[in-house]
Structure 1
Amino acid sequence: MTAVDPSTTAEDAAPDAGGDILAVAREQVLERGEGLSQEQVLAVLQLPSDRLSEALALAHEVRMRHCGPEVEVEGIVSLKTGGCPEDCHFCSQSGLFESPVRAAWLDVDRLVEAAKQTAKTGATEFCIVAAVRGPDAKLMEQVRAGIAAIRAEVDINVACSLGMLTQEQVDELAAMGVHRYNHNLETARSHFPEVVTTHSWEERWETLQMVRAAGMEVCCGGIVGMGESLEQRAEFAVQLAGLEPDEVPLNFLIPNPGTPFAHLEVPQGADALMTVAAFRLALPRTVLRFAGGRELTLGDLGAEQGMLGGVNAIIVGNYLTNLGRPAEQDLDMLETLKMPIKALNDTL
């Protein structure tokens, strides 16, 4: 796949979708393995609700053919919570908003215990997250100590999400054996200034390019329902495809009290599910992960529909400052759907 120019926006020209979009997608994506273009993704997003089941079924076929039946399970934990200097309008961890979240650190012993509990669920990935613009020397030392302690006691891949990085920090994390680095672009480039003003979409893109070059896997997704148009949602899907990430976590907005987006409505279930299908058709070979907000937006039935509509990975447990549902419920769902959990040796 040829990477797209990161300057691509919703206004840029794209090839005509041509014909019935799901028929086109069946031949282009399912048979040839080529992701949809921006205009084609938009055509899927604009399908009427009575075609949702058809779109999800095709997305599931694509997932099964190009990714297989296994589901990758991940747990996440916050090493440093709250007090972030950035103004991401969806985030209750920003120190600039009057939210109930207060700054706190997790010690290494509790970090290891969280990794152990995550591994017990069958998860292959454990992600250490910090609410920062980028890591300082103290945080890098905490991460180094935490990874060493986890490796000594837990058989699990360790991922990190520590904000924007310098080249030196990228090299340090790679040397520590970090398997995957998460840094979300959050939304389309054209919509990003409405979501964050203290740094740019391009700064995030640059970190991701360095991560890729250093040999770590790239995890990059965003949040659906932050006031973006369908055109911008299609733009975002294609910009992600151009990055060629190993994983795309799909979050759905939780309007956290005290944040600038507290007034926005929770995304509707049918709209969220059509987005899941469209993203799978844009990213046929990528790990597409259910992440934060799915419980609020989709509920139990919707989550099952998403797992049968292109999703092949899931975060179990809580999402940093937002509660998820018990990991056992998700594991039971996977068992009911007869979806095997990917083994650790398949992710190395």
Structure 2
Amino acid sequence: MSITTPDAGPTATLSDPALADAVASVLDTGVGLAEPDILAVLRLPDDELPAALEAAHRVRVRWCGPEVEVEGIVSVKTGGCPEDCHFCSQSGLFTSPVRAVWLDIPALVEAARQTAATGATEFCIVAAVRGPDRRLMDQMREGVKAIRAAVDIQIAASLGMLSQDQVNELVEMGVHRYNHNLETARSFFPNVVTTHSWEERFDTLRMVRESGMEVCCGGILGLGETVTQRAEFAAQLASLQPDEVPLNFLNPRPGTPLGDADPVNAKDALRAIAAFRLALPKTILRYAGGREITLGDLGTRDGLLGGINAMIVGNYLTTLGRAPGTDLQLLDELKMPVKALSATL
């Protein structure tokens, strides 16, 4: 069979009958594509991309609903990280201009207020660290308490690798969701990080999953990985069964080892959005960093019609994003409702 978009003309079909049947099965069963079929989607020719995006959108609506989850993020501790993630300007090992800064509790509360004012239901507190020390855990406790007293919003955290005691403490604080990205395929990870392993990251995610917190785990496309490794990464994320996958596209940062890398091609980025949705039919798939330079306004719209059902609004940790009002206006134009806070509980 073939899947045809109603408005894309007669060329918008999946010409491989086996792939078309596999995609149709995802729509019917909610079971994601296997790795070979994910790779086939990533290798689709341009004239079949509209069909892949349409199929991914249908899967997203069927298994996740029409709502879009909106989130804001803020860095409680910026820069000075001891790790050597080659894409990150917050590493203290590179010559990037980001320097260590700590945010105080009143500033955290104000950031949460501003995030809630956009209609966002999720506020994520991020720290550039290998893992949290006692000072950071104490600040998290104070910050979560102060935010809960002032703002009606879910609180997530991204504090690096955790011990079991730290996982337990975050649960006790009431942290709703924990983000810890695997970043890239296991086979490619040593090419972009050498100060810790993919397995160490996975161990943290395992403990988070077992604790009852929601798991947020994604990565960055465009680090130099092959298309085959991109498919491997999508399959590895699917095996983890995360509640949310933030999809970033490399925004090359001056002073980092990847500072001169080329951004991901827009059509390759859209192919990846469709492939990751078809691999993860029931997962929140979130627009994260880099979409502005990779996709622009038109591509952002195409991704929302191709499987994306969540977005970070406003600025990212060290790079600028689109104005929240611009994204919210786009959602309104597409008649995609913002998920209400009660729907995230």
TM-score by length of 2: 0.95
Aligned to 2:44: 47
Aligned to 1:8: none
- What are the superposed Cα offsets for residues 123-167 of structure 1, whole Å, 9 maximum, x if unpaired? 000000000000000000011100000000000000000000000
Do structure 1's residue 193 and structure 2's residue 160 form an aligned pair?
no
**1:198-209 map, 5 Å:** 198-209=195-206
**1:293-312 map, 5 Å:** 293-312=290-309
- Asked whether the 8 Å contact 2:188–2:225 carries over to 1, the reply is yes
| Equivalent-residue separation in structure 1 for 2:285 and 2:340 (angstroms) | 17
Q: Helix, strand or coil: the match of 1:165?
A: coil
Where structure 1 has 5 or more consecutive residues not aligned to the other structure, the ranges are 1-17
Aligned to 2:7: none
Q: Helix, strand or coil: the match of 1:250?
A: strand
| Equivalent-residue separation in structure 1 for 2:174 and 2:336 (angstroms) | 29
Aligned to 1:68: 65
| Equivalent-residue separation in structure 2 for 1:24 and 1:239 (angstroms) | 22
AA in 2 matched with 1:216 = M
- Once the two structures are TM-superposed, the CA of residue 25 in structure 1 deviates from its matched residue by 3.1
Aligned to 1:184: 181
Do structure 1's residue 173 and structure 2's residue 206 form an aligned pair?
no
Aligned to 1:57: 54
Aligned to 1:347: 344
Do structure 1's residue 286 and structure 2's residue 276 form an aligned pair?
no
Aligned to 2:141: 144
**1:13-24 map, 5 Å:** 19-20=16-17, 22-24=19-21
| Equivalent-residue separation in structure 2 for 1:216 and 1:196 (angstroms) | 26
- Once the two structures are TM-superposed, the CA of residue 19 in structure 1 deviates from its matched residue by 4.7
AA in 2 matched with 1:69 = P
Aligned to 2:4: none
- Asked whether the 8 Å contact 2:167–2:207 carries over to 1, the reply is yes
Corresponding residue to 1:94 among 91, 96, 114:
91
- Asked whether the 8 Å contact 1:21–1:43 carries over to 2, the reply is no
- Once the two structures are TM-superposed, the CA of residue 21 in structure 1 deviates from its matched residue by 5.0
- Once the two structures are TM-superposed, the CA of residue 22 in structure 1 deviates from its matched residue by 4.3
AA in 2 matched with 1:256 = R
AA in 2 matched with 1:55 = A
- Asked whether the 8 Å contact 2:71–2:120 carries over to 1, the reply is yes
**1:196-275 map, 5 Å:** 196-275=193-272
Aligned to 2:128: 131
- Once the two structures are TM-superposed, the CA of residue 27 in structure 1 deviates from its matched residue by 2.4
Where structure 2 has 5 or more consecutive residues not aligned to the other structure, the ranges are 1-14
| Equivalent-residue separation in structure 1 for 2:16 and 2:49 (angstroms) | 18
Q: Helix, strand or coil: the match of 2:148?
A: helix
AA in 1 matched with 2:158 = S
Q: Helix, strand or coil: the match of 2:88?
A: coil
Give me the CA root mean square deviation: 0.9
- Asked whether the 8 Å contact 1:75–1:126 carries over to 2, the reply is yes
Aligned to 2:24: 27
Sort the Cα spacing of 1:130 and 1:286 in 2 relative to 1 into closer, same or farther, 3 A.
Answer: same
Q: Helix, strand or coil: the match of 1:320?
A: coil
- Asked whether the 8 Å contact 1:269–1:297 carries over to 2, the reply is yes
Q: Helix, strand or coil: the match of 1:185?
A: coil
Do structure 1's residue 337 and structure 2's residue 331 form an aligned pair?
no
Divergent runs of 4+, >4 A: none
| Equivalent-residue separation in structure 1 for 2:18 and 2:295 (angstroms) | 25
Aligned to 2:324: 327
| Equivalent-residue separation in structure 2 for 1:20 and 1:271 (angstroms) | 22
| Equivalent-residue separation in structure 2 for 1:21 and 1:153 (angstroms) | 53
- What are the superposed Cα offsets for residues 208-238 of structure 1, whole Å, 9 maximum, x if unpaired? 0000111100000000000000000000000
* Count of residues paired in the alignment: 331
Q: Helix, strand or coil: the match of 2:245?
A: strand
AA in 2 matched with 1:199 = H
| Equivalent-residue separation in structure 1 for 2:76 and 2:310 (angstroms) | 23
- Once the two structures are TM-superposed, the CA of residue 24 in structure 1 deviates from its matched residue by 2.0
| Equivalent-residue separation in structure 2 for 1:177 and 1:21 (angstroms) | 46
Aligned to 1:4: none
- What are the superposed Cα offsets for residues 284-333 of structure 1, whole Å, 9 maximum, x if unpaired? 00000000000000000000000000000000000110110110000000
- Asked whether the 8 Å contact 1:22–1:55 carries over to 2, the reply is no
Aligned to 1:3: none
Do structure 1's residue 164 and structure 2's residue 154 form an aligned pair?
no
- Asked whether the 8 Å contact 2:23–2:278 carries over to 1, the reply is no
- Which piece of structure 1 moves more, 22-31 or 232-241? 22-31
